[in-house]
A and B are shown apart, each in its own frame.
Chain A
Amino acid sequence: MNTLIILSALGIITLFAEIFRFRKALFPLILLGLAGAFVATSFEYCDHPQSIFNMMIFDKYAVVFSCSLILICFLWFMMARNYFLQETSVTDHFALILFALAGAVVMVSYSNLVMLFLGIEILSVSVYVLAASDKASVLSNEAGFKYFLMGSFASGFLLFGITLIYGATGSFDLGTIEQFVASNPSSGLVTVGVLLMLTGLAFKSSLAPFHFWAPDVYDGAPTTVTAFMATVVKTAAFGAFFRLFSTSFAGVSGQWTTVLWWFAVLTMFAGNLSALRQFSVKRMLAYSSIAHAGYIAIAIVSVSTNGTSAQAILYYTLTYSIATITAFTVLYIVERNTGRNDFGAFEGMAKNNPFLALVTTVAMLSLAGIPPTAGFFGKYYIFLTALNSHNASLVVIAVVAALIGVYYYFRVIISMYFKPEKSDIPASIGSLHQIVLFITTLLTLLLGIFPDWVLRWI
C-alpha cells in the first residue's frame, strides 16, 4: 500500500513542479522517490500479508513484481532524462510515467477484478497520452490514436468478460471466483467470460493474433516511450495475466490452455518471422518484443501450482526488460546522433565507440538467448516449466522460433563490427547514459551467473 501512496504522491508533486518552478530539482527527487518506493515495497515482503479491504493484497508475488517494475522504471528515468528536457512539458511526461507505474503496481497486486480493470486503465490511459506526446509528428499521432483505439476495444472485451464472470459467481473477488469455478467447472457463463477476458488480456499483452497494433504503435511512438511500453507495460500485463489465470481460472484450465497454446505458437512465429524482414532497428525491436511475449505465454500455458511458473515469468520479464532498456538506450543515442534508426545507422559503431558496441552485443546476445547471459536462463526456466507440465511439443516449437530470432539479433552485431565505418556515432556519450548502460549490462551478465538472486524471492 505504501508503494502506491509514494508513487501517486510523487506523481502529484511532479505536476506541482511546473507551477512552483523547481524543475531543476525534479529529476533527483524522482529518482529518490523511486528508491524510497523500492525500499518501502521490500519492507512489505512477508509470509502472511494482510488483504487491503479485499481489493488488493501485497503477497510475495505482488511485492517482488512491484520491486522489479520500480527497478525497471528507475533505469528508464535515467535513460529518458535528456529526451524530455528538450521539450517544454517535461513535468507532464514524468508525472504520466509515474501514474502509469502506479497502475502497473495495482495490476500485479489486485485481488479483485475491479482493481484489475482500474489498474489496466490507469496504466493504459497514461500511455495513450505518452504515445501521442510528440504533437508535431504525424507518426506519433498515429501511434497514439491506434493504441487508444485498440486499447479501449480490448478494454470492452475485458469488461464483458468480467461482467459474465460476475454474473456466474456473484462476486468480483478472486478467491470467491476460484471456489465457484472449481466447484462448477461446466458453467457456460464462466467459459465465455474466461475466453473474453483471455482475448482482452491477449490484446493488451500483444499476443498473436491480436498483436497487429503493436509494431505500428511501437514504431511511431517516441523512442523512450516505446522503451517504457516494451518493458514496464509488458511486465505488468503478464504479471496481471498470470495472477488471474493461475488462481481464479486454474480450475477450468482445460478450457483456455488450448487456446493460449495456439496464441503462444502464433506469437512466437509471427514475431520472429516478421522481425527478419525489417530495415528499422526500432521496428525489429517491436517485433522482438512480440516474440518474447510468446515465450512468456508458454509459462502461463504450463501453469503449475508449485510456483515455478511464477518464478520463470518474473525472471524472464526482468531480464528481458533490462536487456531491452540497453537496446533502446543505444537506439536512442544512435537516433539522436545520426537521425536514422535503420541497421545501417549502427555501422562502424565498434570503431567509433567500442563501449557502446560491447553493451549492445551483450544486450542482443541476451535477447537472443545465448548462454553466458541472463536471457538464456530466462528461456531455460520457461522451457523447464513447459517440460514439467508435459508440453514437450511446445518446447520444440519455441526452440525453433528462438533459432530464427538469433538471425536478426546478430544482424545488429554484424552491422556494428563487420561493416565499413562511415559512422556519425560520437566517441563519448552522456555520463547518465554511460551509467545506465553499465548497470544494465552488468545486471544482464550477473543475473545470468546468479539467477538465484531473483528466483529465491518468490
Chain B
Amino acid sequence: MDAIIKGVPLNWYIILSAVLFCIGVMGVLFRRNAIIIFMCIEIMLTAVNLLTVAFSVYHNDSGGQVFVFFTMAVAAAEVAVGLSILVVMYRNTRSTDIDVLNRLRG
C-alpha cells in the first residue's frame, strides 16, 4: 500500500488537496442550497483527510492516520447536528434555500 501511495510525488497530493479544498470553499460561498453547502463542507474535510494520509505515509508516522479517524468521526457528528437543525428550519420555513435566512440583520 505504501508503495502505491509513494508512487505519486508528495507535491501532487498537496496540489490535488488544495484544488479539492478550494472547490469546497467556492461551493460554500456561492451555492444557495443548504444541502449542497453541506456537501461542499464535506469535500473540504475530505481533501484535508487525503492530504493527512499522504503526509502520514511519507513521514512513516501513524499519527496522521489516527487523526483522520478522529476527523471522520467529528465530521459525521457535525453533519448529524447540521441536518437536524436543517430539518427544524425546514419545518418552520418550508425551504432549504439559505436566502430565506434574512430575518436577523442590522
Convert A131-144 into 0s and 1s, putting 1 for each residue whose CB lies closer than 8 angstroms to a CB of B.
Answer: 01001101101111
A128 to B47, CA, bound (A): 24
Convert A255-298 into 0s and 1s, putting 1 for each residue whose CB lies closer than 8 angstroms to a CB of B.
Answer: 00000000000000000000000111001000000000000000
Knowing A136-B92, A141-B88, A166-B67 are in contact, say whether A156-B41 is a contact too (CB < 8 A): yes
Report yes or no: A118 in contact with B74, Cβ–Cβ below 8 A. yes
Convert B16-56 into 0s and 1s, putting 1 for each residue whose CB lies closer than 8 angstroms to a CB of A.
Answer: 00000100110010000010010001001101100110011
Report yes or no: B101 in contact with A159, Cβ–Cβ below 8 A. no
Query: In whole Å, how far is A106's beta carbon from the nearest beta carbon of chain B?
Result: 13
Knowing A117-B70, A170-B61 are in contact, say whether A215-B106 is a contact too (CB < 8 A): yes
By beta carbon, the residue of chain B nearest A153 is B28
Tell me, yes or no, whether A167 is within 8 Å of chain B by CB: yes
Tell me, yes or no, whether B1 is within 8 Å of chain A by CB: no
Given A132-B85, A145-B86; 17 other pairs, CB 8 A cutoff = A114-B67, A125-B81, A128-B85, A141-B92, A141-B93, A144-B88, A144-B89, A149-B28, A152-B41, A153-B25, A156-B25, A156-B45, A159-B48, A166-B55, A215-B106, A216-B104, A220-B104
Give how many A residues have a beta carbon under 8 Å from the other chain's beta carbons.
42
CB < 8 Å: which of A114, A142, A166, A171 contacts B101? A142
Q: Which B positions have Cβ atoms within 8 angstroms of A?
A: 14, 21, 24-25, 28, 34, 37, 41, 44-45, 47-48, 51-52, 55-56, 59, 61, 63-64, 66-67, 70-71, 74, 77-78, 81-82, 85-86, 88-89, 92-93, 98, 101, 103-106
Tell me, yes or no, whether A163 is within 8 Å of chain B by CB: yes
Report yes or no: B106 in contact with A145, Cβ–Cβ below 8 A. no
Report yes or no: B78 in contact with A125, Cβ–Cβ below 8 A. yes
Query: In whole Å, how far is A110's beta carbon from the nearest beta carbon of chain B?
Result: 13
Query: In whole Å, how far is B41's beta carbon from the nearest beta carbon of chain A?
Result: 5
A289 to B70, CA, bound (A): 32
Q: Please give, as numbers and ranges, the residues of chain A lying within 8 Å of B37 by CB-CB distance.
A: 149
Tell me, yes or no, whether A172 is within 8 Å of chain B by CB: yes
By beta carbon, the residue of chain A nearest B53 is A163
Knowing A138-B93, A216-B105 are in contact, say whether A170-B48 is a contact too (CB < 8 A): no
Report yes or no: B89 in contact with A145, Cβ–Cβ below 8 A. yes
Tell me, yes or no, whether A250 is within 8 Å of chain B by CB: no
Q: Please give, as numbers and ranges, the residues of chain B lying within 8 Å of A220 by CB-CB distance.
A: 103-104
Knowing A138-B93, A142-B104 are in contact, say whether A163-B88 is a contact too (CB < 8 A): no
8 contacts between A and B (CB under 8 A): A125-B74, A129-B81, A148-B85, A156-B48, A159-B44, A163-B52, A166-B52, A171-B63
Knowing A129-B81, A166-B55 are in contact, say whether A160-B21 is a contact too (CB < 8 A): yes
Q: Which A positions have Cβ atoms within 8 angstroms of B?
A: 114, 117-118, 121, 125, 128-129, 132, 135-136, 138-139, 141-146, 148-149, 152-153, 155-156, 159-160, 162-164, 166-167, 170-172, 215-216, 219-220, 278-280, 283
The 5 closest A-B pairs by CB, nearest first: A156-B44, A216-B104, A167-B55, A170-B59, A141-B89
By beta carbon, the residue of chain B nearest A278 is B106
A183 to B63, CA, bound (A): 22
Report yes or no: B70 in contact with A138, Cβ–Cβ below 8 A. no
By beta carbon, the residue of chain B nearest A137 is B92
A258 to B48, CA, bound (A): 27
Query: In whole Å, how far is A217's beta carbon from the nearest beta carbon of chain B?
Result: 8
Report yes or no: B104 in contact with A171, Cβ–Cβ below 8 A. no
A279 to B106, CA, bound (A): 9
